[in-house]
Structure 1
Amino acid sequence: MAADEKQTCYQGVYLNSFQFYLEKSGEHAVLRQYVEKILPGEFQRIGAGKSSLDVLGVGSGGGEIDAHMLSLLQSSFPAIPITADIVEGSSALVDKFKAMVAKTANLQKIPFTWHIMHSEDYEKHVKAKGDMKKFDFIHMIQMIYYVDNLAETIKFYHSLLKINGRLMIIIEAGNSGWDILWKTYNKDLCGNEVKEYRASTEILTCLKSLGLKYEEYSIPNSFDITECFDLSSGSGECLLSFMTARDHFSESFSPEIRAGMLDLLRTKCSTEKDGKLLFDSTLSCIIVHA
């Protein structure tokens, strides 16, 4: 990777806390259920009359959701060839994705092109080459927090859509627990990997300013953060580290800031049920038309 290209936060300790978060939150299971409901109909509109289909995943991580969506696309159009381009900055997650492809028969039928780089570096490479491959379906799942210029990023990827193509953005919902935490403690949390926190509210404002047509869907989800309030819990520390985008939550903030964050998580970001604190991690899915 060139020296001027961005590094990813999904490595080392933070990568481990990300994997723990996925297990704890059940987010991927919720996303799989959701895409099964919404995407088959979208795919029929996207693929109508086409002889091939090209997919671009931006920030695809380990590929779990990509694999599910590609399988749904194959089921919708079993006789049509499909290609997949993957943009992902974490080489560790790309290796995980490649390993999954190697042991999944239906994925082995799809030619993959791997771009191990940040999304904005991909944009620079594409523009420098002057070879702008177009796509029928582009998805950006839980990654748009990490781009520097929101409007330019959306404009670029929207420009890569073919006729009847769709850009799918999945992000934390406005007024969710994430939104409340990160906007309340914006000065303390932003500045490392996440320069400016964004939820669905900011994405919709940007889409409206660009004059793009879209639909928004809510994906309800919550997960248990009770362990976060047990100072002796390694699991709670790991979860808090991911939620604040730090390697070590307890070492990254002053005692006053930590106490304030925990109070906010308890009183504003969660609900109590059967003795457990359930964090509101509702997601928003935004489907943008070509």
Structure 2
Amino acid sequence: MAADEKHSCYEGVYASSFEFYLEKSGEHKAMLQHVQKILPGEYQRIGAGKSSLDVLGVGSGGGEMDAHMLSLLQSSFPAIPITADIVEGSSPLIDKFKALVAKTSSLQKIQFTWHIMHSEEYEKQVKAKGDVKKFDFIHMIQMIYYVDNLAETIKFYHSLLKSNGRLMIIIEAGNSGWDILWKTYNKDLCTCEVKEYRASTEVLSCLKSLGLKYEEHSIPNSFDITECFDPNSVTGERLVSFMTGRDHFHEFFTPELRASMLELLRTKCSTLKDGKVFFDSTLSCIMVHA
């Protein structure tokens, strides 16, 4: 999971361990493979007949995913000017994103506007203005866990879409390993930044209640968590600490709770293959129509 940052325990884990997690899980690679298949067709529909294109990234982090998606959009419409508004609460991550733009020649042609604030702050700021900027493509990748009100957040960002625009939400899939772990131990894990764990199930239910049209695409992914079951493994400790949103898994939880969580991880959240334990980290990509 990524972060629309307000900083508490989960954010500390994010700051120190997220890149390590990405390396081990292959999550960004799985997402990139998916968006490279689906976005060219979506971009053609979104951009048809338009003389400019405006993109909004919410909780964009260090910009790794944004850079690929914006480059893909630019290659689809090389002669059309593109703007990108970025909403991200972490100044260090915005700095990382700016450094990425500075060394990527294609991105330097895009006009960026940086909003160093959380999603709710951006929403309040926009609502306070009379002249609201609308967007052709809005993406919220791995950040919907951190908003206070799911329905109001989706309604707000959907209201910012131009005609034929798309809102893309990427989130952990319902009944994935993440979903099973965090909902089983909701009272133990949802005590810091994530107050209410959400997966695609909750987002789809919300979209249906709002009467919005959408398509859902599965992004299969799994990764090896075998070392999480070795108490002497530094890699295993870092990984299971990130997965439970704590800096030190073995120090934070009681022996009984640790054993229970590890048993769930092994038996309900994962599959066994060649003596190794592979965690199901399947994602859901939801394309919401304007």
- Class of the TM-score when normalised by the shorter of the 2 chains: over 0.9
What's the CA shift for 1:254?
1.4
Structure 2 partner of 1:158: 158
Q: How many angstroms apart in 2 are the aligned matches of 1:241 and 1:185?
A: 14
Is the contact between residue 53 and residue 80 of structure 2 (CA under 8 Å) also seen in structure 1?
yes
8 A Cα contact 1:271 1:277, kept in partner: yes
Q: CA deviation at 1:95?
A: 1.4
Corresponding position of 1:256? 256
The CA deviation at 1:131 is 3.3
Q: Which one-letter code corresponds to 2:252 in the other structure?
A: S
Compute the displacement of 1:129 (Å): 2.7
CA shift at 1:14, angstroms? 3.3
Matches for 1:70-219 after TM superposition, within 5 Å: 70-219=70-219
Q: Hey, what's the Cα distance between the residues in 1 that align with 2:7 and 2:272?
A: 38
SS of the residue 1:193 aligns to: coil
Partner AA of 1:122 in structure 2: Y
SS where residue 79 of structure 1 aligns?
Answer: coil
> What is the CA distance between 1:13 and its match in structure 2?
4.6
Separation in 2, partners of 1:258, 1:132:
49
Question: AA paired with 1:24?
Answer: K
Offset, 1:6:
4.1
SS at match of 1:45: helix
- Give CA deviations for 1:62-115 in whole Å, capped at 9, x if unaligned: 111111100110111000000001111122221111111110000011111111
Q: Which consecutive unaligned segments of at least 5 residues does structure 2 have?
A: none
Cα 1:218/1:120, change in 2 over 3 Å: same
1:67 partner SS: helix
Unpaired stretches in structure 1, ≥5 consecutive residues:
none
Using the alignment, how far apart are the partners of 1:13 and 1:31 within structure 2? 21
* Partners of 2:9 and 2:246 within 8 A in 1: no
Name the TM-score, length of structure 2 as normaliser: 0.96
The answer for the alignment partner of 1:16 in structure 2 is: 16
The residue aligned with 1:228 is 228
Q: Contact 2:169–2:285 at 8 Å: present in 1 too?
A: yes
Name the residue aligned to 1:43. 43
| Identical-pair percentage | 84
Q: CA RMSD in A?
A: 1.4
**129-138 vs 263-272, greater mean Cα deviation:** 129-138
**Does the 8 Å contact 2:169/2:286 carry over to 1?**
yes
Q: Distance in 2 between matches of 1:97 and 1:144?
A: 20
- Aligned-partner residue type, residue 184 of structure 2: T
CA–CA distance in structure 2, aligned partners of residues 187 and 10 of structure 1: 15
Which whole-Å deviations, capped at 9, do the CAs of 1:8-32 have from their partners, x for residues lacking one?
A: 7675453121111011101111111
TM-score if structure 1 supplies the norm length? 0.96
Question: Which residue of structure 2 aligns with residue 285 of structure 1?
Answer: 285
1:131 and 1:240, CA in 2 relative to 1: closer, same or farther beyond 3 A?
A: farther
Contact 2:87/2:116 (<8 A) preserved: yes
**What secondary structure is seen at the aligned counterpart in 1 of 2:131?**
coil
Q: Which amino acid aligns with 1:196?
A: E
SS in 2 for 1:106: helix
Query: Residue 274 of structure 1 aligns with which residue?
Result: 274
Contact 1:180 1:268 in 2 (8 A): yes
Which amino acid letter does the alignment assign opposite residue 71 of structure 2? S
Q: Distance in 1 between matches of 2:70 and 2:237?
A: 35
Q: How far apart are residue 161 of structure 1 and its match?
A: 0.3
Give CA deviations for 1:202-239 in whole Å, capped at 9, x if unaligned. Answer: 00000000000000010100001011111111111111
Aligned length: 286
Give the distance between the partners of 1:38 and 1:8, measured in 2 at CA: 35
